[in-house]
Amino acid sequence: MDEQPGLSDQYRRASPWPLFVALGIPIAELGILFDVFAVAVAGLLLFCGSVTGMLRESGYAKTPWRPLGAFALLLFAVGGVLAFTDLNLVTRGYAIITAGGFLAAAGIGGELFVPKGEPI
Protein backbone atom coordinates (compact mmCIF):
# COMPACT_ATOMS: atom_id res chain seq x y z
CA MET A 1 0.00 0.00 0.00
CA ASP A 2 1.05 3.56 -0.66
CA GLU A 3 1.86 5.81 2.25
CA GLN A 4 0.33 8.80 0.46
CA PRO A 5 -2.48 7.56 -1.75
CA GLY A 6 -3.69 10.00 -4.39
CA LEU A 7 -0.61 12.20 -4.33
CA SER A 8 1.55 12.44 -7.40
CA ASP A 9 5.27 13.14 -7.56
CA GLN A 10 4.46 15.75 -10.19
CA TYR A 11 2.80 18.10 -7.67
CA ARG A 12 5.15 18.78 -4.79
CA ARG A 13 3.32 21.69 -3.22
CA ALA A 14 -0.06 23.38 -3.01
CA SER A 15 -0.70 26.79 -4.50
CA PRO A 16 -1.36 29.67 -2.07
CA TRP A 17 -3.25 31.77 -4.63
CA PRO A 18 -6.82 30.39 -4.27
CA LEU A 19 -6.93 31.53 -0.64
CA PHE A 20 -5.98 35.08 -1.60
CA VAL A 21 -8.46 35.13 -4.48
CA ALA A 22 -11.16 33.99 -2.08
CA LEU A 23 -10.21 36.78 0.35
CA GLY A 24 -9.78 39.47 -2.30
CA ILE A 25 -13.28 39.16 -3.73
CA PRO A 26 -15.26 39.80 -0.51
CA ILE A 27 -12.83 42.46 0.72
CA ALA A 28 -13.21 44.36 -2.57
CA GLU A 29 -16.99 43.91 -2.55
CA LEU A 30 -17.30 45.14 1.03
CA GLY A 31 -15.17 48.18 0.29
CA ILE A 32 -17.13 49.04 -2.84
CA LEU A 33 -20.55 48.30 -1.30
CA PHE A 34 -20.00 50.33 1.88
CA ASP A 35 -17.97 53.03 0.12
CA VAL A 36 -14.75 52.49 2.08
CA PHE A 37 -12.06 53.71 -0.29
CA ALA A 38 -8.97 52.01 1.18
CA VAL A 39 -10.67 48.65 1.68
CA ALA A 40 -11.99 48.65 -1.89
CA VAL A 41 -8.56 49.44 -3.33
CA ALA A 42 -6.81 46.84 -1.14
CA GLY A 43 -9.35 44.14 -2.02
CA LEU A 44 -9.05 44.81 -5.74
CA LEU A 45 -5.25 44.76 -5.55
CA LEU A 46 -5.34 41.49 -3.62
CA PHE A 47 -7.77 39.88 -6.07
CA CYS A 48 -6.08 41.03 -9.28
CA GLY A 49 -2.59 40.27 -7.97
CA SER A 50 -3.64 36.79 -6.88
CA VAL A 51 -5.26 35.96 -10.20
CA THR A 52 -2.11 37.22 -11.93
CA GLY A 53 -0.03 34.96 -9.68
CA MET A 54 -2.23 32.00 -10.59
CA LEU A 55 -1.83 32.76 -14.29
CA ARG A 56 1.95 32.95 -13.88
CA GLU A 57 2.18 29.79 -11.78
CA SER A 58 0.04 27.73 -14.13
CA GLY A 59 2.05 28.79 -17.17
CA TYR A 60 -0.61 30.85 -18.94
CA ALA A 61 1.57 33.96 -18.66
CA LYS A 62 5.35 34.15 -18.99
CA THR A 63 5.57 37.20 -16.74
CA PRO A 64 3.03 38.78 -14.40
CA TRP A 65 3.38 42.25 -15.90
CA ARG A 66 1.06 42.00 -18.90
CA PRO A 67 -1.83 40.40 -16.98
CA LEU A 68 -1.48 43.21 -14.43
CA GLY A 69 -1.80 45.69 -17.30
CA ALA A 70 -4.87 43.89 -18.60
CA PHE A 71 -6.50 44.02 -15.17
CA ALA A 72 -5.60 47.72 -14.96
CA LEU A 73 -7.42 48.42 -18.23
CA LEU A 74 -10.44 46.47 -17.04
CA LEU A 75 -10.53 48.37 -13.75
CA PHE A 76 -10.13 51.71 -15.55
CA ALA A 77 -13.13 50.87 -17.74
CA VAL A 78 -15.38 49.73 -14.87
CA GLY A 79 -14.30 52.58 -12.61
CA GLY A 80 -14.83 55.10 -15.41
CA VAL A 81 -18.37 53.87 -15.96
CA LEU A 82 -19.15 54.19 -12.25
CA ALA A 83 -17.39 57.52 -11.75
CA PHE A 84 -18.54 59.40 -14.83
CA THR A 85 -22.22 58.45 -15.10
CA ASP A 86 -25.24 59.69 -13.16
CA LEU A 87 -25.36 56.74 -10.77
CA ASN A 88 -24.05 58.60 -7.67
CA LEU A 89 -21.21 56.08 -7.38
CA VAL A 90 -18.40 58.56 -7.90
CA THR A 91 -16.18 57.65 -4.94
CA ARG A 92 -16.62 53.94 -5.66
CA GLY A 93 -15.55 54.55 -9.23
CA TYR A 94 -12.54 56.53 -8.04
CA ALA A 95 -11.54 53.63 -5.78
CA ILE A 96 -11.64 51.23 -8.73
CA ILE A 97 -9.70 53.68 -10.92
CA THR A 98 -7.09 54.07 -8.17
CA ALA A 99 -6.62 50.30 -7.94
CA GLY A 100 -6.25 50.24 -11.73
CA GLY A 101 -3.61 52.96 -11.47
CA PHE A 102 -1.60 50.94 -8.97
CA LEU A 103 -1.82 47.85 -11.17
CA ALA A 104 -0.83 49.85 -14.27
CA ALA A 105 2.16 51.30 -12.43
CA ALA A 106 3.23 47.83 -11.30
CA GLY A 107 2.81 46.40 -14.80
CA ILE A 108 4.68 49.21 -16.53
CA GLY A 109 7.40 49.25 -13.88
CA GLY A 110 7.84 45.51 -14.12
CA GLU A 111 8.10 45.58 -17.91
CA LEU A 112 10.64 48.39 -17.84
CA PHE A 113 12.81 47.62 -14.84
CA VAL A 114 12.72 43.87 -14.17
CA PRO A 115 15.42 41.95 -16.09
CA LYS A 116 14.12 39.61 -18.78
CA GLY A 117 16.47 36.74 -17.94
CA GLU A 118 15.35 33.18 -17.38
CA PRO A 119 14.32 32.32 -13.81
CA ILE A 120 16.57 30.00 -11.87
Neighbours of 95 (CB within 10 A): 28
Q: Does 13 score more than 80 pLDDT?
A: no
Whether the CA torsion 59, 60, 62, 67 is positive or negative: it is: negative
Query: What does each C-alpha distance from 39 to 10, 16, 23, 75, 101 come to in angstroms?
Result: 38, 21, 12, 15, 16
What residue segments make up the domains of the chain, in order of their start? Answer: 17-112
The tens digit of pLDDT for each residue in 75-94 reads: 999 999 999 998 888 999 99
Contacts of 25 (CB under 8 A, 6+ apart): 43, 47
Query: What does each C-alpha distance from 109 to 69, 96, 113 come to in angstroms?
Result: 10, 20, 6
The tens digit of pLDDT for each residue in 31-78 reads: 999 999 999 999 999 999 999 999 999 999 999 999 999 999 999 999
